[in-house]
Structure 1
């Protein structure tokens, strides 16, 4: 009643009405209708009525949409768990390759993205066709340990990741901003999924320990059914949570990017000094060359995520100089690795592994060159951060094309 009187007394004082509302929105809302009934001709109260009433309608519509999204996500999560378990059964029977487990998860995440984005039919048909072709082709390959077959298995996740990006971007697949959003989604998704997976592992360990106290060993059954089902279903749930703009992942990713960049730079510098000091030679040591390429990929990933987490209107700061230094170091590493690979090709001949490593190193080298020149222009105030981000996003399909080349041609060429 007191607030009702205050509303009427300040009916011609919008500033005071706003103050009363902000002090206790719930009480204001409860008392407002009575004041509105007593003063139906007040334009000020009329605006307030529309404000409060419109908010209720908007919230109702939003709540209904969230509920539908949640139900659809739940159905996809259950289906992903069931399909993954079925695929795992055939993997256990050694009928199909273990990499088929990816088809129990990624197509369902793609389906959720299609549901959210509603892309054109041509995009949907292309995705369905590419998923089917890659799945059928993968299972037509012989189950053996030949290098070309293993390379095809290793490149399938990259190819499917690009297809997932197409589902995520929908009709805007050619826009740099949409591709940038997809890269950010991956970082947020990884953090969120890892957090939930750790909780799941703790629950699994506790459950198996409790059953062991009563003399039951459920480890095999629990992993094959509960853990596998849960891990695949959780992948869909995590995609749903990230797409709902969960603040936990969004707030932490920029800090992770800024913290890890200098740590990686220092670690890499110390490592390279140690390599030179100990006289390690990637030209002759195959395992060391593999490690060198692993470092290169790690630096590339950290650099890309650092770049994508920068705001498009942000001015240059210390993080940009750290990223530029990382790119230069990565280029040095890649140049050495390329020289070593060419040396091994000329000395020992062409093999699927050497050719695949050569191809991916050339792609990374070209990508790093583009990013480096974009960064140089940015640091010289000749362009903005968006130019750097474009040099990252526009190059993504190239990796997908290379993965497709390895998957669909290497097993035929090196049969």
Structure 2
């Protein structure tokens, strides 16, 4: 992450308007993500031309959108220019079955990828030890999610190469490093490898255009919606498996057979497959989750605030910060990560042009409470390092807390400024997207550098 990326964007208002236009266009299922990218390129070209003619950002945006015509007109124009595209038939010939053909093709590809992810997981469980599989689990499953998204976005060769490198380099490292069995560095690597792998998925999702703030925020939204869908699939799958086990039990099938089938086949195939299916659902049904997201943020924001206050009281009552229970500090980190996820998802679900509202102020209160918890937790970690010396766990935890402190602190400043009417919402949104790569860099550092520094212990 460069210094330039951290500087405020003078065109943040324009970027917010383009982001809103992009979300509106993407609700049309007849228009793929790649088509939206091309349409946005045309829109930006028109805006640049109008800006060069002397119009300001807002005027340029409004005129450019007006000149592009209605959404249907733009769709028909794209269809005429891409006569070999299947979606042309969907737009120009409403009675054509091309739309269902395209959907069926995407469904078929998704099912094949989901099955492949399940079979790869099954093979990994059979060929690898439990420890090796735990280290490689994310690197076995997530490439299939990336592969499906890459197929959807017709990823370019250079983007494919970079994505493959992000998967391959940590895979080589964690399988070559001579970790001590059950050592701290091995556990740390196992926890951070999924973060690196998810960063590779993000690179694919944005179509290789990682420097675009709009694409990064789209990926944040995708991640939150995927978590929702995956949770729903897991709950539904759990109910089905429970009913299946009950039926088998009533049919007097031996319990050992039931457990063997579920542990050896159903779960290894279903869990990674469900992740691919969840990604497909997010891509196909974005407008459904867009209605859920604002409700979820309004429910969990006040609950999170109450939880943070309770955690702060627990930390203070813990007594000496040096003697604070390590498990309590780990839980504090998990809660701070939850606050970060809530912040990102709240921002991604919000209309960037809407005025400040009550829940915006409540989110700022959550950030302030999180900062207080983070400050106490960091003090405890620094005190433990000074008293007992450095260890992989302490260094990694302290580094993560520093990142969280920086992001949450400046988010609180920007959020407070927005609620007071002194800053545009685009600044708060832009800060999140510019800072996100720091977590990917940190996770890569933890996986590749921390283990050898601490002797793989």
Question: TM (normalized to structure 1)?
Answer: 0.82
**Structure with higher RCO (Cα < 8 A, 6+ apart):** 2
1:335 aligns with 2:375: yes
- Corresponding residue for 2:166? 130
Residues 179-190 of structure 1 aligned to structure 2 (within 5 Å)? 179-190=216-227
In 1, the alpha carbon distance for the partners of 2:363 and 2:247 equals: 48
Runs of 4+ in 1 over 6 A off after TM superposition: none
Change (3 A) 1:337 1:272: closer
In 2, the alpha carbon distance for the partners of 1:180 and 1:357 equals: 26
Change (3 A) 1:58 1:80: farther
CA contact under 8 A between 1:352 and 1:410: conserved in structure 2?
yes
CA contact under 8 A between 1:331 and 1:365: conserved in structure 2?
yes
- Which residue, 135, 154, 159 being the options, matches 1:99? 135
- Corresponding residue for 2:122? 85
Residues matched between the structures, number: 363
- Which residue, 131, 147, 155 being the options, matches 1:119? 155
Change (3 A) 1:54 1:146: closer
In 1, the alpha carbon distance for the partners of 2:396 and 2:133 equals: 21
Change (3 A) 1:293 1:210: same
- Corresponding residue for 1:41? none
Q: Which runs of 5+ in 1 are unaligned?
A: 1-49
Range with bigger deviation, 390-399 or 62-71: 62-71
CA contact under 8 A between 2:222 and 2:282: conserved in structure 1?
yes
Q: Which runs of 5+ in 2 are unaligned?
A: 1-75, 77-88
Q: CA deviation at 1:209?
A: 2.0
Residues 264-279 of structure 1 aligned to structure 2 (within 5 Å)? 264-273=304-313, 275-276=315-316, 278-279=317-318
- Which residue, 369, 375, 378 being the options, matches 2:418? 378
Q: Secondary structure at the match of 1:105?
A: helix
Q: CA deviation at 1:380?
A: 2.8
In 2, the alpha carbon distance for the partners of 1:58 and 1:180 equals: 36
Q: CA deviation at 1:54?
A: 6.0
- Corresponding residue for 2:215? 178
In 2, the alpha carbon distance for the partners of 1:116 and 1:54 equals: 19
- Which residue, 311, 318, 336 being the options, matches 1:296? 336
1:320 aligns with 2:360: yes
- Which residue, 306, 311, 316 being the options, matches 2:351? 311
- Which residue, 208, 212, 216 being the options, matches 2:254? 216
Question: TM (normalized to structure 2)?
Answer: 0.75
- Corresponding residue for 1:42? none
Change (3 A) 1:360 1:83: same
Range with bigger deviation, 401-410 or 280-289: 280-289
Q: CA RMSD in A?
A: 2.2
In 2, the alpha carbon distance for the partners of 1:186 and 1:407 equals: 22
Q: CA deviation at 1:63?
A: 2.7
In 1, the alpha carbon distance for the partners of 2:110 and 2:362 equals: 40
CA contact under 8 A between 2:312 and 2:372: conserved in structure 1?
no
In 2, the alpha carbon distance for the partners of 1:232 and 1:58 equals: 37
Q: Secondary structure at the match of 1:142?
A: coil
In 1, the alpha carbon distance for the partners of 2:404 and 2:95 equals: 47
In 2, the alpha carbon distance for the partners of 1:200 and 1:293 equals: 30
Q: Secondary structure at the match of 2:290?
A: helix
CA contact under 8 A between 1:73 and 1:236: conserved in structure 2?
yes
In 2, the alpha carbon distance for the partners of 1:152 and 1:238 equals: 26
Q: Deviations over 1:349-391 (max 9, x none)?
A: 1111111111111111111122122213312323322211111
- Corresponding residue for 1:27? none
